[in-house]
Structure formats: structure tokens, C-alpha cells
């Protein structure tokens, strides 16, 4: 463990409150900074056929006070249908540089109203392109480029094109598993929210 590493983790290495603050800070950084290891996260859902599904999504919003995180999806996707059918969800994020993994369990809701409208308004034009395609995600294509965006897709006449297919997924976090891989000794903790606040315990790594 270098002096730099020790300085990095001094505020949370053996402190549960510090760890809780650090994990939310890492998540918030992931939503704001595309270079963060937490910018893309893995989402695990229960499929309607009884199997398991894991996908990578972009972390779009984090609200520590509300205990929620947010990502976006297409209303026509299997992911969206799976979440509606079974809202229990797990999200896993790992930053190799920080050597931190965070797993969040909670319940997801697919938002189409005000929450989605606000998220859509904050979405950059290049990110809106995929919602304009007439093909639902996972549709069979006659040719590999059939779903490619056509001329003007990134700057459409109608700025709201694709809005009907856009959904914000809000995950209300109920428990968090934290793992920090430190050379001098790993640290793992679990936090649970009872509706009034968070409580944490140390776990064997």
C-alpha cells in the first residue's frame, strides 16, 4: 500500500460512516463523470421466463438524500418489461483504479411521467438517437445496418422525436454491499436502510 493509497482511504478505511459517505460520493461521481469507473454499472434483473439477466447501463443520477439512483432505458426493451414484472433489482459498480466495488439492492420503477420528462430534458442530443429507431431493442433485422441512424438523426427537425420510447428507471436502494480491495487488508461492509436512516456492519471480505 503506497502512501498515496493510504491518504486516499484514510477517511473511510476503518470507519463505517466514512465508508457510507465515500460510496455515495463514488456513485455521484460516476453519474457526473464519464471517466469514472462507476459511470457504467451492471444491472441484474429477473427475466419473465424465470432466468436471470445482466446488462450494462450508464448511471445517470444519484440522490443520497432520497436513497435512489437512476438510469435510462427504452420502453420497448425486454429490460423494461422485466422490471415492470419484477421490480427487485441489483446494481453492481466496480472502479478498478479505486479498487472499490459497490452492490446495491432495491426496487425499481419505470418512470414515464414527470421524472422521465425531466431526465429527457437533461439528455444530450447524441444520447437521444437510439430512441428514434423504429426497431425495438433486440428486434431481428434483415441486415446488420438496418437500425443505423439515418441522415439528420442527430439533429432532427423534431427535437422530441423518440421521447415516447424513453423511460427513466428509478431504483430505491434498500441495501448496499461495499468491498474495498486494499493491499494491507480488504474491507467489506453492508448497509441497510430502514426508512429512517442507514445502519452498517463490517463483513468478512
What tens digit of pLDDT does each residue of 20-45 get? 999 999 999 999 999 999 999 999 99
Average pLDDT, the chain: 91
CA 144 to each of CA 23, 136, 141, 148, 183: distance values in angstroms, whole numbers, following the listed order: 40, 14, 6, 8, 46
Dihedral sign of CA atoms 66, 69, 73, 75 in order: negative
The pLDDT of residue 4? 59
Any alpha helices (H) in 47-179, and if so which ranges?
78-85, 114-121, 125-128
Domain ranges in the chain?
A: 3-203
pLDDT in tens, 91-117: 999 999 999 999 999 999 999 988 899
The pLDDT of residue 3? 57
Q: Are 167 and 112 in contact (CB under 8 A)?
A: yes
Q: Could you tell me the fold of the domain covering 3-203?
A: Pnp Oxidase; Chain A (2.30.110)
Residue 53 has pLDDT above 70, yes or no: yes
Amino acid at each position: 500500500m503506497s502512501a498515496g493509497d493510504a491518504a486516499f482511504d484514510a477517511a473511510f478505511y476503518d470507519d463505517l460512516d466514512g465508508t457510507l459517505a465515500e460510496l455515495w460520493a463514488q456513485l455521484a461521481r460516476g453519474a457526473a463523470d464519464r471517466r469514472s469507473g462507476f459511470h457504467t454499472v451492471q444491472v441484474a434483473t429477473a427475466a419473465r421466463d424465470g432466468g436471470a439477466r445482466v446488462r450494462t447501463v450508464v448511471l445517470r443520477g444519484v440522490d443520497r438524500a432520497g436513497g435512489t439512483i437512476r438510469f435510462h432505458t427504452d420502453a420497448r426493451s425486454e429490460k423494461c418489461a422485466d422490471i415492470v414484472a419484477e421490480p427487485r433489482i441489483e446494481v453492481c459498480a466496480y472502479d478498478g483504479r479505486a479498487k472499490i466495488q459497490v452492490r446495491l439492492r432495491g426496487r425499481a420503477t419505470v418512470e414515464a411521467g414527470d421524472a422521465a420528462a425531466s431526465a429527457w430534458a437533461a439528455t444530450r442530443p447524441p444520447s437521444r438517437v437510439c430512441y428514434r429507431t423504429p426497431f425495438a431493442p433486440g428486434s431481428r433485422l434483415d441486415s446488420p445496418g438496418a437500425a443505423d441512424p439515418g441522415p439528420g438523426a442527430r439533429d432532427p427537425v423534431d427535437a422530441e422525436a423518440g421521447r415516447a420510447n424513453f423511460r427513466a428507471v428509478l431504483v430505491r436502494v434498500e441495501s448496499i454491499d461495499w468491498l474495498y480491495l486494499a493491499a494491507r487488508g480488504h474491507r467489506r461492509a453492508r448497509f441497510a436502510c430502514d426508512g429512517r436512516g442507514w445502519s452498517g456492519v463490517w463483513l468478512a471480505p
